[in-house]
Structure 1
Amino acid sequence: MNKLNILIAGCGDVGCELARQLISMKCFNVWGLRRNIAKLPGGVNAIQGDLFNTEGLGDWPAQIDYVVYAAAANGRSEEHYQQAYIDGLKNVLGRLVKERYQPNRIFFTSSTSTFHQNRGEWVNETSATQPVKFNGRIMLEAESLLHHAPFPGTAIRFGGIYGPGRNRLISRVQKGEGCPAEPEIYSNRIHRKDCAGIIAHLIRRDMDNMPVDNLYLGVDSNPATTFDVLQWLGRQLNVPLDNKHYPSPQRGNRRCSNQRIIETGYRFYFPDYKSGYSSLIHKISDR
């Protein structure tokens, strides 16, 4: 069987993990587009380019079977988000149309910030989205761009991504910074390996002519309060936490359901924060 060409536009942290997983499947040629190609994993066909420059998108293969748009903003400002998720996506879609590519499907890494619910409610792919912050509004606009493009498109709204190099909560606990138990603030998270795993799983489904929806939530199976996560990490690291003098990290306070992706047959590498963070703690302990 001829290998399929997959373009990962914005092949950063999640994109590189996806590239490694796809290459291991032996049925894909993976092309990674980023500014610093020295950071691409072995086996990836390097495309040195800038997503934010229409004339600087690099040299693409003659045929592209799948596109994964996995860019990350260079900062937390509205301008950075606009550049990464609107301007960059427009540039990629524009080139696909201009050069008459016909990808089978485009995948876009979106965010659960598209939801406005903030009282611990459960949400899923059918829930209303009326975000009040610019990041959620920009992500919704990007999803709309994707779904109005002349190609099949799937957005995956990921929760808080953690994994190697993404140890924000572990670093907080190591400094002894807890948070109050009340009010309860729910958060949703997903290990980097499962971010890539979900995308790879959906690509395989599409290849096998199995149904792929236009939207999924990419979160693990255990929404938990930030207090519970921090206390558990504190016990694992044997660090007493000060829960009085540090506020809860800012989170949306909602519980996201992953039932739709579970129903496709996806099995999580790390189905909850305990299994995911345990793998990180072991790596830290081994240093």
Structure 2
Amino acid sequence: MRMMIFGAGFSGLAISRALAGGCEFAGGTTRSPERFPALQGAGLTPFIYDGGTPSDELSAAIGEVTHLVMSIAPDTAGDPLLAAFSGGLRPSMPKLGWIGYLSTVGVYGDHGGEWVDEETQCKPVSKRSVARLAAEDGWTRLAAEAGIPLAILRLSGIYGPGRNALKTIHDGKARRLVKPGQVFNRIHVADIGGAAALLASKRLGGIYNVTDDMPAPPQDVVSEAARIMGVEPPAEVDFETADLSPMARSFYGENKRVSNARIKTAGYEFMYPDYMAGLKALYSGGAWKG
């Protein structure tokens, strides 16, 4: 396997680590040379990419890849790689045999707390989720034209080392926002890596919700983190009167329970099937600090 990860951030590095033993070559892109050590630490050869046509060096590398992972969020102009490869994938990547696109469960929009799966109609609310769905459609067209299997991984709220309720409590930034009936799914970043590795190794296409087994109220996660740490949780705060940024408040405008049955049927077994297992492992191993 020769892999390139466009946008090797938190999730991209986890995917690289999960596939480390199975790659003859693994490359990853970043906007800044300052992140080169982080990519190299995860087994990636780093390249600079900040939109537009890839550099000659990057183009030469992607000309040899068999697996492509796209983890760059679309901006106001759309997905940068869709524009760069609008003429087709085969001219740039003649050996490509699988594509993974990291999307979000936000494309489903609001479903009033009901269960959704990959067959549920998407009705995104936020501009960022509308852009993600448009990018999904664009990659679906490109992959179909090239005859390459495309796996779309719809991710729920990501947590892991350095990004979790344990750390927010430690940093004094945790809040227990309460909005009656509100639930969210979550996913440990290591399970993103594991699920992507499974799909890549089997060259499976299709849409997969990569999310945990336990949609839960956000305040419950903070309470559990406090319990694990042996500290008092912060006081509950009414969502309606809370001081929130427009973006933070917008997340609470979508309420749904997301099923992960399809990725399990594909053969994936979650390492951290719920936030309780994930937080416990982060704390016991000391990884919660990042």
Asked if residue 40 in structure 1 is aligned to residue 36 in structure 2, the reply is: no
1:235 aligned counterpart, secondary structure:
helix
Deviation at residue 64 of structure 1 after TM alignment: 1.4
Deviation at residue 92 of structure 1 after TM alignment: 5.1
Asked if residue 104 in structure 1 is aligned to residue 105 in structure 2, the reply is: no
* 2:175 aligned residue: 177
Letter of the 1:69 partner, please give it.
M
How far apart in 2 are the matches of 1:45 and 1:30? 5
Deviation at residue 201 of structure 1 after TM alignment: 0.6
How far apart in 1 are the matches of 2:287 and 2:81? 35
Deviations 1:187-223 (A, max 9, x none): 01101101111000111122xxxxx242000101111
Deviation at residue 66 of structure 1 after TM alignment: 0.8
Asked if residue 219 in structure 1 is aligned to residue 175 in structure 2, the reply is: no
How far apart in 2 are the matches of 1:284 and 1:67? 29
Match of 1:273 among 259, 264, 275: 275
Q: Are the aligned partners of 2:162 and 2:287 in contact in 1 as well (CA < 8 Å)?
A: no
Stretches of structure 1 lacking an aligned partner (at least 5 in a row)? 74-79, 207-211
Q: Are the aligned partners of 1:201 and 1:266 in contact in 2 as well (CA < 8 Å)?
A: yes
Match of 1:127 among 117, 120, 129: 120
Q: Are the aligned partners of 2:64 and 2:93 in contact in 1 as well (CA < 8 Å)?
A: no
Q: Are the aligned partners of 1:50 and 1:57 in contact in 2 as well (CA < 8 Å)?
A: no
How far apart in 1 are the matches of 2:17 and 2:287? 22
Letter of the 1:270 partner, please give it.
Y
2:76 aligned counterpart, secondary structure:
helix
Moved over 4 A (4+): 92-95, 245-249, 284-287
User: 1:153 and 1:281, CA in 2 relative to 1: closer, same or farther beyond 3 A?
Assistant: same
Equivalent pairs counted in the alignment come to 268
Deviation at residue 49 of structure 1 after TM alignment: 2.2
* 1:65 aligned residue: 66
Letter of the 1:170 partner, please give it.
L
Q: Are the aligned partners of 1:107 and 1:155 in contact in 2 as well (CA < 8 Å)?
A: yes
Q: Are the aligned partners of 1:51 and 1:57 in contact in 2 as well (CA < 8 Å)?
A: no
Deviation at residue 102 of structure 1 after TM alignment: 3.8
What is the percentage of aligned positions where both structures have the same residue?
26
User: 1:239 and 1:81, CA in 2 relative to 1: closer, same or farther beyond 3 A?
Assistant: farther
1:33 aligned counterpart, secondary structure:
strand
Q: Are the aligned partners of 2:163 and 2:288 in contact in 1 as well (CA < 8 Å)?
A: no
How far apart in 2 are the matches of 1:16 and 1:285? 17
Match of 1:24 among 10, 21, 39: 21
User: 1:126 and 1:43, CA in 2 relative to 1: closer, same or farther beyond 3 A?
Assistant: closer
Deviation at residue 138 of structure 1 after TM alignment: 0.3
Match of 1:145 among 119, 138, 142: 138
Deviation at residue 42 of structure 1 after TM alignment: 4.1
User: 1:88 and 1:166, CA in 2 relative to 1: closer, same or farther beyond 3 A?
Assistant: farther
Q: CA RMSD in A?
A: 2.6
Higher relative contact order (CA 8 A, sep 6+): 2
How far apart in 2 are the matches of 1:191 and 1:93? 33
